[in-house]
């Protein structure tokens, strides 16, 4: 079974906030090529990070990512008022578990945050598995430091491109066109 790698981006705002939880999935033969490509693009940085890249770098990375045969599932939840991003994340993660499982993915690696926040993610995924997946359904969430796993960088890039599109800069998201499956949800925040 393929493994998904995920990262987030969000915008808290009283009326126009949203949360982007992006995942990338590559078939096993492409996974090593994707990692090598991301490591080569990293340059002198510890890891690739959307907000640390100049526009030219963002375009180059998105172009390289678009050239790889991958599938990227992105859940965008809104609204996200101030101080509600964790609630929005939980709603997005629940939806992501359901959709990834439906596509034959049973494991998601997320960029590690604090131990408590990582625990929340695991509990959210376990609750989604119990309540939304078939009785014999299985799904696991793990966490990994961002600098260790290049596939998390790809998820960060997809999340950044989707966030930028939401804010009126769609050119990077458009480069990923057919590889991104967007799901919009209401966070009830």
pTM: 0.96
From first to last of the 189 residues of the chain, give the pLDDT tens digit: 789 999 999 998 888 899 999 999 999 889 999 999 999 998 777 899 999 999 999 999 999 999 999 999 999 999 998 889 999 999 999 999 999 999 999 999 999 999 999 999 999 999 999 999 999 989 999 999 999 999 999 999 999 999 999 999 999 999 999 899 999 999 998
Q: Write out the DSSP string of 70-112.
A: EEEEEEEEE---TT-HHHHHHHHHHHHHHHHHHTT--EEEEE-
d(CA 151, CA 86): 23
Q: What are phi and psi of 84, to 5 degrees?
A: -120, 15
d(CA 152, CA 161): 14
Which residues, 6 or more positions from 49, have their beta carbon under 8 angstroms from its beta carbon? Answer: 146, 153, 156
């Amino acid at each position: 079974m393929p493994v998904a790698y995920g990262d987030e981006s969000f915008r808290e705002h009283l009326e126009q906030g949203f949360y982007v939880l992006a995942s990338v999935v590559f078939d096993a033969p492409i996974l090593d090529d994707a990692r090598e490509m991301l490591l080569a693009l990293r340059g002198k940085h510890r890891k690739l990070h959307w907000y640390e890249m100049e526009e030219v770098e963002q375009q180059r990375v998105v172009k390289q990512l678009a050239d790889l045969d991958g599938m990227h599932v992105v859940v965008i939840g809104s609204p996200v008022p101030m101080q509600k991003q964790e609630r929005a994340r939980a709603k997005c993660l629940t939806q992501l578990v359901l959709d990834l499982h439906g596509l034959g993915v049973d494991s998601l690696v997320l960029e590690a945050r604090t131990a408590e926040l990582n625990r929340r993610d695991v509990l959210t995924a376990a609750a989604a598995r119990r309540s939304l997946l078939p009785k014999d359904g299985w799904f696991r969430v793990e966490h990994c430091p961002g600098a260790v796993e290049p596939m998390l960088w790809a998820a960060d890039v997809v999340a950044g491109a989707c966030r930028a599109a939401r804010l009126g800069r769609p050119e990077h998201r458009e480069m990923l066109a057919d590889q991104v499956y967007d799901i919009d949800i209401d966070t009830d925040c």
